[in-house]
Amino acid sequence: MPEDTGLRTLPSPRRLPAWAGKLLWPVLALALLLAFNAVATPNFFNLEIRDGHLYGSLIDILNHGAKVMILALGMTLVIATGGVDLSVGAVMAIAGALAAMVIHVHAWPFAAGLALVLGVCLLAGAWNGMLVAVFRVQPIVATLILMVAGRGVAQLLTDGKIITFTDPANPALIFLGNGHLLGLPFPVAIVAVMLALTVLLTRRTALGLFIESVGDNETASHFSGVQARSVKFMVYVFSAFCAGVAGLIAASNIKAADSNNAGLYLELDAILAVVIGGTALTGGRFYLVGAVIGALLIQTLTTTIFMRDVSAHIIPLPKALVIVIVCLLQSPAFRRKIMAPFVRRAA
């Protein structure tokens, strides 16, 4: 719906830049959850140095959250164009399966295997991009196809088995998910680099502007000379690339390619992270750092539940609550109707 949300016409009371205002809520939510854990969950903030790297629940959150953080980077750009990518979980499974097959089973050199895996992921993204940009299929349905078929392809690759790769033979592949850099798990470094590159690429060039304009109003952006089709095509390719990296980390993390379970339902977590981060599903302005914080929030929630012996069945309930609260806080209509008496208008 190309309806203007009226968001930017509201005077911002604190005169903060838009991105800072958007970051406020997810950061606040994360801080609250961490504060709760500091008081109520023993050992949550314990950090120690083991074998020369940091060890503790906080590090686990970063480490396990890395997959969704990376997915969220790609998803943010897709959602900014008004689309959505449901296929990321399946692409993760393909990436893991392919990596295990070529690098472990067929003993390709790591670099060649990596190139092949990421190349295939780019193709998967191009497939989605083609359906959405060229054939103009609605993104949900277009990516649903790969979501359904992709996991089948991953199982086909591994013949339905879990492919375990043994330690000494594949140091590089194992390092991806288990190595350390500067005392932190290597996936964290991957996230940092990818986030920095994505921010640079979208904010230091006009690319980000193009993406936002396509999401805001495709027709208008077309008339102002933006190649809407290419922009759309590219975001799906990028999203699949991110999914590929996340898939490699997921497989490396457990030293096995589990086609049936890798990345299952992670598309929902990724979408959730993006929305918590302040990007609207209708497209337009996007917030990469917000999405990463959103992913951290989701992972912190999960780790909290594990640490506190709460039965994992109820994980969906706090997630539902988080979605509703975040949506409400970001809804201009909610602010207008409910919050108006509490928010002082800047003169």
Partner 1 sequence: MSKRIGEIVLVAGLLAAGMMLASCDKGQPKDGAGKKKIVVGFSQIGAESDWRKANTESIKAEAAKRGIELKFADAQQKQENQIQALRSFIQMKVDVIAFSPVVETGWEPVLREIKKAGIPVILSDRAVDVSDDSLFKTFIGADFVEEGRRAGRWLVKKTGGKAKIAELQGTPGSAPAIDRKKGFEEILKDHPDMKIIKSQTGDFTRAKGKEVFESFLKSPEGKEINVLYAHNDDMALGAIQAIEEAGKKPGKDILIVSIDGVRGAFEAMVAGKLNCSVECNPLLGPQMFDLVEKIVAGQEIPKRVVVEEGVFDESQAKEALPTRKY
Partner 2 sequence: MRLLPPPKYVPLLATALVLGGLFVAGAFRYENFGTLGNVLGTIRGQAMLGVVAIGATFVILSGGIDLSVGAVVALTGMIVAAALPSGVQVVVPEDNPVRQITRDQLRQVYAGEITNWKQLGGPDRAIVPVTRELASSAHDSFMKHVMAGRPLADRVQYVNDDSEVKARVQGEAGAIGYVDLYYAPRGLGRLMIDGEHGVQVGLNPALAIAMALAAGLAIGAGMGCLIHFFELPAFLVTLAGMFFARGAGFVIHTRSIPIKHPFFLRTVNEDLVIPLGGHLEIPLAVIVLLALLAAALVLAHWTRFGRNVYAIGGSENSARLMGLGVGRTKILIYTLAGLCSAIGGVVWTFELQSGDPLQAGLGMELDAIAAVVIGGTLLSGGVGFVAGTLMGVLILGLIKAIITFENINSWWTKIIMGMLLLAFILLQNFVTKASMRRKKT
**Site for partner 1, rule CB under 8 A:** 42-43, 46, 50-51, 55-57, 60, 64, 155, 160-162, 164, 178, 250, 253-256, 258, 260-262, 303, 306-307, 309, 311-313
Residue 280 in contact with partner 2, rule: CB under 8 A = yes
For the bound state, the minimum distance from the C-beta of residue 68 to partner 2, rounded and expressed in Å, comes to 15
Residue 44: φ, ψ to 5°: -65, -40
For partner 1, the closer of residues 76 and 158 by Cβ is 158
Considering the rule CB under 8 A, would residue 319 count as an interface residue with partner 2? yes
Binding partner of residue 256 among partner 2, partner 1, none, CB under 5 to 8 Å per kind?
A: partner 1
Please state the closest distance from residue 5 (CB atom) to partner 2, in A: 8
Least Å distance, CB 229 to partner 2, is: 15
- The residue range among 104-112, 207-215, 285-293, 333-341 that interacts with partner 2, by the rule CB under 8 A, is 333-341
Contacts of 275 (CB under 8 A, 6+ apart): 79, 281, 294, 323, 326, 327
CB 226, min distance to partner 1, A: 33
Nearer to partner 2, 204 or 337 (CB): 337
Q: Is 324 in the site for partner 2 (CB under 8 A)?
A: yes
Q: Least separation, in Å, of the C-beta of 334 and partner 2? A: 4
What is the residue whose two structure tokens read 């929630």? Answer: 301
Give strand pairing partners of 54: 49
Contact 262, 108 (CB under 8 A): no
How is 41-92 classified by DSSP, letter by letter?
A: STTTT--EEETTEEESHHHHHHHHHHHHHHHHHHHHHHHHTT---TTHHHHH
| Tokens 């392809």 belong to residue | 153
User: Whole-number minimum distance, CB 140 to partner 2, in Å?
Assistant: 6
Residue 162 CA: distances (Å) to CA of 56, 121, 143, 261: 29, 20, 25, 10
116-to-99, 122, 157, 164, 263 alpha-carbon distances in Å = 8, 10, 14, 19, 20
Residue of the chain from 268, 289, 305, 307 that contacts partner 2 (CB under 8 A): 268
The answer to whether 41 contacts partner 2 (rule: CB under 8 A) is: no
CB of 50 to partner 1, least distance (A): 5
Give 34 or 153: the residue with its C-beta nearer to partner 2: 153
Query: What is the C-alpha to C-alpha distance for residues 187 and 245, in angstroms, rounded to an integer?
Result: 10
Binds partner 2 (CB under 8 A): choice among 14, 106, 204, 337: 337
Q: Is 256 helix (H, G, I), strand (E, B) or coil?
A: strand
225 DSSP 8-state letter: T
The number of angstroms, rounded, from the C-alpha of 312 to the middle of its chain's C-alpha atoms is 22
Site size for partner 2 (CB under 8 A):
51
Burial 220-240, CB ≥16 within 10 A → b, else e: ebeeeebebbebbbbbbbbbb
The yes or no reply on residue 298 touching partner 2 (CB under 8 A) is: no
Of 34, 70, 251, 272, which one interacts with partner 2 (CB under 8 A)? 272
Which partner from the list partner 1, partner 2, none does 153 bind, CB cut-off 5 to 8 Å by kind? partner 2
Say if CB 46 and CB 176 are below 8 A apart. no
Residue 82: count of CB within 10 angstroms of its CB: 21
Record the tokens describing residue 252, joined without a space: 């490396």
Q: Is 115 in the site for partner 2 (CB under 8 A)?
A: no
Least distance to partner 1 from the beta carbon of 98, Å?
Answer: 18
Residues that bind partner 2 (CB under 8 A): 1, 3, 5, 84, 131, 135-138, 140-142, 144-156, 160, 268, 271-272, 275, 280-282, 311, 313-317, 319-321, 323-324, 327-328, 331-334, 337
